[in-house]
Amino acid sequence: MVHQTMNTSIKPAPKASSKISHMLFPIVVPCPTVRVFVLRLCLLSALLLLLAACATPPSPLPSRSPLPDMPTGTVPEVAAEPKPPVLPPHTTAPATPPLAPDELGKDLRRSRWTPVPWDALPGWHNDPMGEAWAVLLSNCERPGATMAPLCPSIRRLSLADEATQRNWLMQNMQAHRVESWEGEAGGLLTGYYEPVFEAQRLTSDSFATPLYAAPAGIKAGQPWFTRQEIETAPQAQNALRGKAIAWLSDPVDALVLQIQGSGRLRITEADGSVRMVRLAYAASNEHPYQSIGRWLLDNSELKDASWPGIKAWVQRNPQRVQALLWVNPRYVFFREEALPDPSIGPRGAQGLPLIAGRSIAVDPQSIPYGTPLWLVSPGPTQAVQRLVVAQDTGSAIVGAVRADLFMGTGWQAGELAGRMKQPLRLWVLWPK
């Protein structure tokens, strides 16, 4: 960058300046009368010179002060002037304090919500409202007591333009930043999906891994047999006799299905016919989930703990697969459901079909089911800034700022979900 300095000097008029300079010295005359005459003549000359100077246009002045000289090759750092945020009249920062757990419900103990202005939500004006409105409409099938009063308006505005829909949300909802009680607003976003596997109704040498319905006597909150005991203990095997819904060819696929909580089976029936069914979550053995990926990392077995990385390890170590699966004591049981419309996602804990990219699993002790949220995550797997709704949960989804984004059905959704592990920020959109 070449830096040029403007010339700000004004050239003097030589004749005028010389006359003025002579006036500064005393003039000696021999006679008082002559002295008076000379004095009057000098005063008249000075006045004429002054008038002439005023009639001459001045040299132009620079519009701004020149930058100081800088060393060659140095670029001056100029701070950009901050631009004031442009906010609608109703988006001024609220003065209300954070909502306390007692105001939200006795079961919400893991988060606090701090009200913020709408301009605090990154990318708020960029989310396609048509897509966002679809999940709000779906949510109104089982909205809960807090959202129910808004559902008539949500249905009425289903065909409105995006500006009207967004403006309605800003007028009727208050944005709250979700954070822990220690004030931590950062969290973790992961992804999950609905897998699709080949299965058989009858066991065989190739399809020998069972998927079970819930056994009699299993109760919520009461631990049952561990995964290892279910596969080895005679008492557990007796309780599960006749409970197999279908059989898979790969025990790792069975674990994936249990971790995701639901899935689809392209199942071959005993008569040779093939049909697609859905397996939905029914119950668990109530043991805590333990990540096999975490175990592999801690034991320096691999550096990539994504599902593709785990499957690659399994292919290299087939004789160690059983011991790896027993690292996770949690076991999930299913129920079979018909699949009349393949475009509809599985049902989450709220009891509604999940919508890819718009439904999230949350900790219900942090965020109630049916709550709209603004979700922001920078990546690296996928950058996300969008409206979502809390419609599901999972055993590994624990904490104030923690979410699992439903990615859809099939292997492509699974590839994306298996690699998603990235920073998260959440804002609850709560009715005023």
Question: Is the pLDDT assigned to residue 301 strictly greater than 50?
Answer: yes
Digit-coded pLDDT (tens) for 244-265: 999 999 999 999 999 999 999 9
Question: Is the pLDDT assigned to residue 142 strictly greater than 50?
Answer: yes
Q: What pLDDT was estimated at residue 217?
A: 85
User: Which conformational region is residue 237 in: left (phi greater than 0), alpha (psi within -120 to 50 degrees), or beta?
Assistant: alpha
Q: Which two tokens stand for residue 395?
A: 């055993």
Question: Is the pLDDT assigned to residue 416 strictly greater than 50?
Answer: yes
Question: Is the pLDDT assigned to residue 401 strictly greater than 90?
Answer: yes
Place of tokens 């005359």: 29
Q: What pLDDT was estimated at residue 98?
A: 52
Question: Is the pLDDT assigned to residue 90 strictly greater than 60?
Answer: no
Q: What pLDDT was estimated at residue 396?
A: 87
Q: Which two tokens stand for residue 268?
A: 């071959």
Question: What is the mean pLDDT of the segment spanning 53-68?
Answer: 35
Buried b / exposed e over 335-369, threshold 16 CB at 10 Å, is ebeeeeeeeebbbbbbebbbbebbbbbbbbbbbbb
Residue limits of CATH 2.40.40.10 in the chain: 105-190+347-431
Strands 372-377 and 421-431: antiparallel
Question: Is the pLDDT assigned to residue 364 strictly greater than 60?
Answer: yes
Asked if 400 contacts 365 with a C-beta cutoff of 8 angstroms, the reply is no
Q: What pLDDT was estimated at residue 304?
A: 82
Beta-carbon neighbour count of residue 83 at 10 Å? 6
| Packing angle of the helix pair 129-139, 162-172 (nearest 10 deg) | 50
Residues 315/319/325/327 CA torsion (nearest 10 deg): -120
Asked if 365 contacts 181 with a C-beta cutoff of 8 angstroms, the reply is no
Question: Is the pLDDT assigned to residue 93 strictly greater than 50?
Answer: no
Specify the higher pLDDT residue, 180 or 74.
180
Residue 188 CA: distances (Å) to CA of 109, 379, 421: 18, 11, 7
Closest by Cα among 150, 103, 94 to 368: 103
**309 — pLDDT class (breaks 50, 70, 90):** confident
Asked if 381 contacts 421 with a C-beta cutoff of 8 angstroms, the reply is yes
Q: What pLDDT was estimated at residue 308?
A: 76
Asked if 8 contacts 62 with a C-beta cutoff of 8 angstroms, the reply is yes
Kindly report the three-state secondary structure assignment for every residue of 23-76.
CCCCCCCCCHHHHHHHHHHHHHHHHHHHHHHHHCCCCCCCCCCCCCCCCCCCCC
Question: In residues, how long is the chain?
Answer: 432
Asked if 373 contacts 383 with a C-beta cutoff of 8 angstroms, the reply is no
How far is Cα 50 from Cα 66, in angstroms, rounded to an integer?
Answer: 31
Digit-coded pLDDT (tens) for 126-140: 999 999 999 999 999
Question: Is the pLDDT assigned to residue 399 strictly greater than 50?
Answer: yes
How far is Cα 364 from Cα 69, in angstroms, rounded to an integer?
Answer: 62
pTM (2 d.p.): 0.72
Strands 384-392 and 359-362: parallel
Question: Is the pLDDT assigned to residue 161 strictly greater than 80?
Answer: yes
The 263-268 sheet, strands edge to edge: 209-212, 244-248, 196-200, 263-268, 274-284, 332-337
Mean pLDDT (the chain, rounded): 80
Specify the higher pLDDT residue, 212 or 101.
212
Question: Is the pLDDT assigned to residue 43 strictly greater than 90?
Answer: no
**99 — pLDDT class (breaks 50, 70, 90):** low
Question: What is the mean pLDDT of the segment spanning 146-153?
Answer: 96
DSSP 79: P
Closest by Cα among 417, 395, 405 to 290: 395
Digit-coded pLDDT (tens) for 13-41: 333 333 333 333 333 333 344 343 333 44
Q: Which two tokens stand for residue 213?
A: 């319905």
Residue limits of CATH 2.40.240.50 in the chain: 194-337
Q: What pLDDT was estimated at residue 224?
A: 97
What CATH number does domain 194-337 carry, 1.10.940.10, 2.40.240.50, 1.10.10.60, 3.40.50.970? 2.40.240.50
Is the peptide bond between 380 and the residue preceding it cis, with omega within 30 degrees of 0?
yes
CATH code for the structural domain at 105-190+347-431:
2.40.40.10
Q: What pLDDT was estimated at residue 395?
A: 85
Digit-coded pLDDT (tens) for 119-128: 999 999 999 9
Q: What pLDDT was estimated at residue 100?
A: 47
Scanning 248-346, the segments in alpha helix (DSSP H) are 251-260, 292-298, 307-316, 321-325
Q: What pLDDT was estimated at residue 91?
A: 34
How far is Cα 183 from Cα 114, in angstroms, rounded to an integer?
Answer: 10
Digit-coded pLDDT (tens) for 220-236: 899 999 999 999 999 99
| Least confident residue range of 92-96, 150-154, 258-262 | 92-96
By three-state DSSP, how is residue 89 classified?
Answer: helix
Q: What pLDDT was estimated at residue 268?
A: 97
